[in-house]
Each structure stands twice: as C-alpha cells, then as structure tokens.
C-alpha cells in the first residue's frame, strides 16, 4: 500500500465525529480528518498526529508486532508524554490501524511489563474497507473510419499544334571540298597548258 492509498483509507474510515473506545478506558473523538493529519479529542484535550508519520510506522513495522514502548523510543517527541509528546498517540495509532484493517486485537494491559501493542498486518492481509474508490474500467476508444477520397483524374497534356520545323539537310563538307579542289586543279592545268604552248611557239619563232 502506498502513502496515497493509506491516507485515503485512514481519512475515509475515520470521518469527523468518529468515537473510538480507548483500550485503557475513555474515548477518542475525531475532530479533524485529513488531508494531512488526524486530530482527536480525549476529554478536553485536543491532539493531532500527521498521517505521514502513521504511514512511516506502518512501513517500518509491516508484518510484525509493535508496542507503545517501541513507539516512544522511535519518535519520543510525538509518542512520549515525558518528552514533549503524547502517549495517547500510541493507542490512537493502534485503533486507527484496526479501523482500516491493518491490525488485529490490541494486546497488553497498558502497564510496565505489559505495554499495549498490535501486530501490523501486511498489505496482502488487509481486508477491503468502505473508503476504497470503485474500480473504473477505461472506456474503449472508438475507431473512427477514415474516408478514402477518390483521386482526381489526370488529363494527358494537349498535343502541341505548333508546326515542327522541317529538318535541314546539311551538305557533306568533305564532298564539297573535294569538288572545289578538283576545279582548282583543272584551272591550274589549263594555265600550265597555255603557258607551255606559248613557250613552244616562242621557241619555234626564234629558229
């Protein structure tokens, strides 16, 4: 049992106005219940004890016995009237533990050699108490169907209406160069033939 559950059990089991029968005689009436302390009145004296301290005692002695003498030595300024505390807190703790099902009968006679005490129950042995909140099953989450949106149809791009330019034939450069060279050779040949003919005619005339 954690401290929150312990505090809830204690406060719900000891509401204001609860009257407890002290093992040594008389009564203890709860006048403040929570959130961090329990206050009670014995005769005309009002006393308070921290819930966190009660939980510390539960944690320390869980599964074994504890007496009022041990509590006085554990925290004297709280449980020992001779050292600025209140011995009444010992029996109030025992009755509070009984109230929430963490202790059985209070044993002892409350005197030297036979102090009051209890067997502190383990959490597994603790019976259920009225202050427990009902367990609530979580509401299952609803599955919301996801709508699948249709994909818009994609039209193919329109055919281009622009006329494509006709391919331009490129003249073969090597063939054009060959014809040009051949023409040049022929012209040179004509010039040479003419020149040679002139030289021969000149020679024949000088004879």
pLDDT tens digits, residue range 124-151?
444 433 333 333 333 344 343 444 445 5
Distance separating the N- and C-terminal Cα atoms of the chain = 153
Q: How far apart are CA 51 and CA 59, in angstroms?
A: 12
HEC profile of the chain: CCHHHHHHHHHHHCCCCCEEECCCCCEEEEEEECCCEEEEEECCEEEEEEHHHHHHHHHHHCCCEEEHHHHHHHCHHHHCHHHCCCCHHHHHHHHHHHHCCCECCCECCCECCECCEEEECCHHHCCCCCCCCCCCCCCCCCCCCCCCCCCCCCCCCCCCCCCCCCCCCCCCHHHHHHHHHHHHHHHHHHHHHHHHHHHHHHHHHHC
At residue 159, the pLDDT reads 59
- Residues of the chain with pLDDT > 70, as a percent, come to 73
Task: Output the average pLDDT for the chain.
Answer: 80
CB-count burial class (<10 Å; 0-12, 13-18, 19+) for 39: middle
Higher pLDDT, 27 or 193: 27
Domain ranges of the chain: 3-125, 175-207
pLDDT tens digits, residue range 73-112?
999 999 999 999 999 999 999 999 999 999 999 999 999 9
At residue 153, the pLDDT reads 60
């Amino acid at each position: 049992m954690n401290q929150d559950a312990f505090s809830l059990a204690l406060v719900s089991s000891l509401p204001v106005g609860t009257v407890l029968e002290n093992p040594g005689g008389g009564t203890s009436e709860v006048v403040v219940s929570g959130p961090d302390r329990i206050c009670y009145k014995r005769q005309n004296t009002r006393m308070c004890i921290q819930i966190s301290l009660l939980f510390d005692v539960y944690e320390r002695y869980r599964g074994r016995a504890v007496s009022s003498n041990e509590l006085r030595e554990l925290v004297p300024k709280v449980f020992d009237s001779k050292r600025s505390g209140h011995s009444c807190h010992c029996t109030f703790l025992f009755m509070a533990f009984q109230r929430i099902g963490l202790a059985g009968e209070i044993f002892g006679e409350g005197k030297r050699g036979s102090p009051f005490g209890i067997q502190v129950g383990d959490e597994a042995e603790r019976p259920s108490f009225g202050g427990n909140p009902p367990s609530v099953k979580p509401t299952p989450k609803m599955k919301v169907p996801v709508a699948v949106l249709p994909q818009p149809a994609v039209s193919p791009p329109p055919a281009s209406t622009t006329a494509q330019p006709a391919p331009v034939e490129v003249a073969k450069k090597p063939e054009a160069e060959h014809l040009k060279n051949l023409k040049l050779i022929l012209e040179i040949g004509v010039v040479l033939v003419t020149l040679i003919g002139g030289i021969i005619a000149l020679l024949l005339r000088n004879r």
